[in-house]
């Protein structure tokens, strides 16, 4: 969705951003609403650097403020997402009930290099896509659903008390839907 090497949003993306800004004008938390609308309109469900810069320009907000909001909230993506998104909670309750094992298992099921991931120390803030972009595996610090730990979200559907078998079945079902 870019029209030149400088990374400017194309006319369609600019129009979508302008509409999001107009829809959120003078509303409390307008920036959050704008970012959410722009990300949802993107076919790969992410906020490009060009989109963030354009949002800053059009709202009159400092680019650093727009970027800091986009990076603070886990619901925003700065990289293209897969068709299916699996998000594993890494909060304390989920961790103690096996979320790390779930993360390892699903990464292996998706063909992602678990050893390379876990060796970086970044497993608590992970976002990796399969090469064919059919899946993105993400982590979140906490869903706030601690009584239901471990919690995994698959395509915005929260699953509670997840075990490896349940998660494997969910991933297989999404893969079959794709075919």
pLDDT of the chain, 179 residues: tens digit per residue = 444 434 678 899 999 999 999 999 989 889 999 999 999 999 888 999 999 999 999 999 999 999 999 998 878 899 888 999 999 999 999 999 999 999 999 999 999 876 656 555 555 567 888 989 999 998 988 888 999 999 999 988 999 999 999 999 999 999 888 66
Residues 64 and 109 in one domain: no
Tell the burial category of 88 from Cβ atoms under 10 Å away from its Cβ (0-12, 13-18, 19+).
Answer: buried
Domain hosting 63: range is 11-72
Domain boundary among 72, 100, 125: 72
Number of domains into which the chain is organized:
2
Residues 170 and 143 in one domain: yes
Residues 116 and 64 in one domain: no
Tell the burial category of 97 from Cβ atoms under 10 Å away from its Cβ (0-12, 13-18, 19+).
Answer: buried
Do the domain assignments include residue 79?
Answer: no
């Amino acid at each position: 969705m870019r029209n030149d090497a400088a990374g400017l949003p194309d006319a369609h993306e600019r129009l979508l951003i302008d509409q999001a800004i107009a829809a959120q004008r003078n509303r409390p938390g307008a920036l959050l609403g704008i970012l959410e609308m722009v990300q949802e309109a993107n076919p790969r469900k992410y906020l490009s650097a060009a989109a963030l810069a354009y949002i800053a320009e059009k709202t009159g907000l400092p680019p650093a403020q727009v970027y800091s909001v986009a990076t603070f909230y886990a619901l925003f993506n700065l990289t293209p997402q897969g068709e299916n998104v699996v998000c594993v909670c890494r909060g304390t309750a989920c961790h103690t009930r096996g979320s790390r094992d779930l993360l390892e298992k699903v990464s292996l099921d998706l063909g992602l290099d678990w050893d390379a991931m876990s060796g970086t120390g970044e497993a608590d803030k992970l976002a990796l896509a399969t090469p064919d972009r059919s899946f993105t595996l993400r982590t979140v610090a906490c869903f706030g659903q601690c009584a239901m730990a471990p919690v995994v979200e698959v395509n915005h559907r929260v699953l509670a008390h997840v075990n490896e078998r349940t998660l494997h079945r969910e991933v297989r079902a999404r893969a079959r839907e794709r075919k």
